[in-house]
Amino acid sequence: MRSVRPAVASVALALLINVVMVVSADAQQTVRPLRPPSPAGIPIIPFMEGWYANEDGTVTVSFGYHNRNAEDVIVPLGENNRIEPAQLDGMQPDIYFSGRHPGVFGVTIPESMKDESVWWHIKTDNLEELKVPGERGSSAYELDRNPRPQGSVQPFIWFENENRGSGPEGVVAANTRTISVGVPLTLGVETEDPSVRDPSNPLFAKPLDSRVIWYKHQGPGEVSFTEHASTPFITTPARSTRGMIPAAVSRVSIPAGKGPARVMATFTEPGEYMIRARLDNWNSSDSDGLDQCCWSNAFQRVRVTQ
């Protein structure tokens, strides 16, 4: 028996080494998203950021994405970029900017559908289709709109003479704007940050400024944003959000967190567009996109004619 034990031990050791090698290989696979972005050829990853339980019995699901490519990627709405059930389709972007972008839009599930799952499907070029569910499920994914430790909450955003909104789902303008190709269009939103902070804290001796950033959300052509005379662009570096959320050039500051924000948008091709304005109060140390607080979206449809 003594002569057998070393052999058995050797086999066991070899098996253990093989297991460690497999685990190590799997571990190496998990760190791939942390590598520098590829020039192209990586699928867009959809994210379900979490869900909110609303007072009226509905559930709002917050969605975002991660584009690990170095360049922006276009995935038109349709079979390769859809939300199911179909009646909830249409608010997802068709342009995916490089980097990690949380809470780009929200889908509100009616109470009558509260037991159903929402699925967001994305198929990038000829790559595999990825999908992510959104539902009122595990409490681990439940988000809240409560004040953060230093008082930050989701700011209010709205279009003039329309209802206020907040959060990823935000508000959608009641009217579609119309403009011709190459003609600048003034876009504007009203804003207010209702956060209540401790005035005895030196960090909040003065009200904090908030900011609005404009993005193309949907549409066939390019959209360029230029300054409106009332709200010039911010030229100072953006506050870091752990290097994950790129800041667009079209940033404007809202003094003391309350007031209008405007921008000039110019379109290169005719068609149907949607512009997203994101209002955030990330100047406060308890407010950050990757912590799912505190920002709100506003969406404006624009019809561009020749």
Question: For residue 291, what is the domain's CATH number?
Answer: 2.60.40.10
CA distances from 42 to 4, 45, 206 (A): 52, 9, 45
Question: Is 3 part of any domain?
Answer: no
In order, the DSSP letters of 277-300 are EEEE-TTSTT-BGGGTBSEEEEEE
Q: Are 273 and 301 in contact (CB under 8 A)?
A: yes
- The answer on 167 and 291 residing in a single domain is yes
- 58 and 129 in a single domain? The answer is yes
Alpha carbon distance 282, 278 (integer Å): 12
Torsion angles phi and psi, residue 27, rounded to 5: -60, -40
For residue 280, the model assigns a pLDDT of 95
Q: Are residues 201 and 247 in the same domain?
A: yes
Q: Say if residue 195 is in the same domain as residue 278.
A: yes
List the single range of 87-96, 156-165, 216-225, 246-255 with lowest mean pLDDT.
246-255
Per residue in 125-173, pLDDT tens? Answer: 999 999 999 877 778 889 999 999 999 999 999 999 999 999 999 999 9
Mean pLDDT to the nearest integer, 218-232: 97
pTM for the structure as a whole: 0.85
pLDDT of 26 above 80: no
Q: Is residue 22 part of a domain?
A: no
Residue 2 lies in a domain: no
Pairwise pLDDT comparison (6 vs 40), residue with the higher score: 40
- 148 belongs to a structural domain: no
Average pLDDT, the chain: 87
Q: Are residues 168 and 119 in the same domain?
A: no
More confident residue, 150 or 41: 150
pLDDT band at 117 (very low <50, low <70, confident <90, very high): confident
Residue 91 sits in which domain range? 45-141
Same-domain check for residues 219 and 263: yes
Query: pLDDT, tens digit, for every residue of 246-259?
Result: 778 899 999 999 99
**Is residue 80 very low, low, confident or very high in pLDDT (cuts 50, 70, 90)?**
very high
Q: How many domains does the chain have?
A: 2
Work out the average pLDDT over 263-287: 96
Residue 293: inside a domain, yes or no? yes
Is it the case that residue 198 has pLDDT exceeding 50?
Answer: yes
Q: Indicate if 129 and 163 belong to the same structural domain.
A: no
User: Within its chain, how far is the Cα of 164 from the centroid?
Assistant: 20
CB atoms within 10 A of CB 220: 15
Query: Do 288 and 226 have their domain in common?
Result: yes
- Same domain membership, residue 183 and residue 209: yes
Q: Examine the domain organization and report whether 252 and 185 are in the same domain.
A: yes
206 and 289 both lie in a single domain: yes
Q: The domain spanning residue 116 has which CATH number?
A: 2.60.40
Contact indicator for 275, 173 with CB cutoff of 8 Å: no
pLDDT, position 247 = 75
